[in-house]
A = this chain, B = another copy of it.
Amino acid sequence: MKRYMQNIHRVVSYVPGDQPNFPDMVKLNTNENPYSPAPGVQEALRQSEVEQIRLYPDPTAHELNAAIAKAYHVDESQVFTGVGSDDVLAMIFQTFFRADLPILFPDITYAFYPVWCDLFRIPYAVQPLNDQLEIVPEDYTRENGGIIFPNPNAPTGAELPQSAIAYILEQNPESLVVVDEAYVDFGAQSALPLLERYENLLVVQTFSKSRSLAGERIGFAIGAPELIRALHDVKFSFNSYTMNCSALAAGTASVRDWAYLEKTTEKIITTRERCKQVFSKLGFRFPDSKSNFLFVTHPEVDAHALFEALREVHIFVRWFNAPRVRDYLRITIGTDAQMDQLFDFLRDYLGKKRG
């Protein structure tokens, strides 16, 4: 083998998540929004001029950042945007988690946290959720080089109350605490108001879920200007132009339409609450989700077998081959019609099992 092949960066080979594409499918596997983005988004994309596309995009994302700042009642100097919240989070890991102390996050959580730790050589220590699959705030008081957790947590959907987040911030004045709020718009309470009291807080959100813009890749962080400045410095030091002009235009139009966000998230919340009742009646159990998905388990059902059976009929959900959660399925909240199609199948499936 040539030397250049011996020396390549070896990683665990990863096959991107199943992105099936059947006309009749019910796609409940990647927490996408079943409703369209705000009407202004399509309009903004249609109006984007070729004159704009031939030029480099604005590296500072000024228009989008200003629109986000206005919508969230913060200053533009408190906003950092990136190519999806994955890009924003990776930049945060790279910029801030550089102490020789382990960073802390839950054992059951977003799968990319340990990946970025390995990539950037950051030590970490996972903190187990309790038996109800909840974060235990007291676990986050040991010495650490930083703290990160999603709220609501993924893939459980469970919300950590704002008082518990305040407690973690209070106990860790020397650490940066990152609250990853990818799913916060579906009824959970944002940590943003805590920014007034805690300078060591960074809140990360995304346009991929509540704003129906997964295809455009837009995420953002809000925090103290000195934190945001450090993120910009690192970003600009090695890649100036990342968000393209379509993402900037789509994101700006989206964030300006708060009423549409409320309307569509309300619809999903209503469907979710109805689904909780149906799942319960069918014998499923789940943490009380405040997100756009439910993390369900059933005492009589093998989760992986059900996952496969659903796939057969083109209903796609998510199963994680990981300790503690092998008996669960993560199911995105789709439209009422999609969920009814799922429930019809489940009634039949459970009936056959029992019969």
Contact = CB atoms under 8 A, between A and B. Distances in A.
Interface of A: 2-5, 7-9, 11-17, 19, 27, 30, 32-37, 41-42, 45-46, 48, 50-60, 83-84, 86-87, 90, 94-96, 98-99, 112, 115-116, 119, 145-146, 173-176, 199-200, 208, 212-217, 226, 230, 233-234, 236-247, 250
Q: How many copies does the complex hold?
A: 2
A116 B271 CA distance: 48
A180 B145 CA distance: 39
Given A98-B9, A116-B238, A214 B246 contact: no
B217 A241 contact: yes
Interface of A is mostly: loop
A233 B11 contact: yes
Contacts of A245: 215-216
A168 to B, nearest CB: 14
Contacts of A208: 56
Contact of A59 (B16, B55, B56, B145): B16
Nearest to A2: B174
A58 B34 CA distance: 17
Contacts of A240: 14, 16-17, 86
Contacts of A19: 56, 58-59
B241 A86 contact: yes
A8 B87 contact: no
Listed residue (A55, A175, A212, A242) with the most chain B CB atoms within 10 angstroms of its CB? A55
A5 B243 CA distance: 27
A230 B2 CA distance: 14
A349 B110 CA distance: 61
Contacts of A226: 5
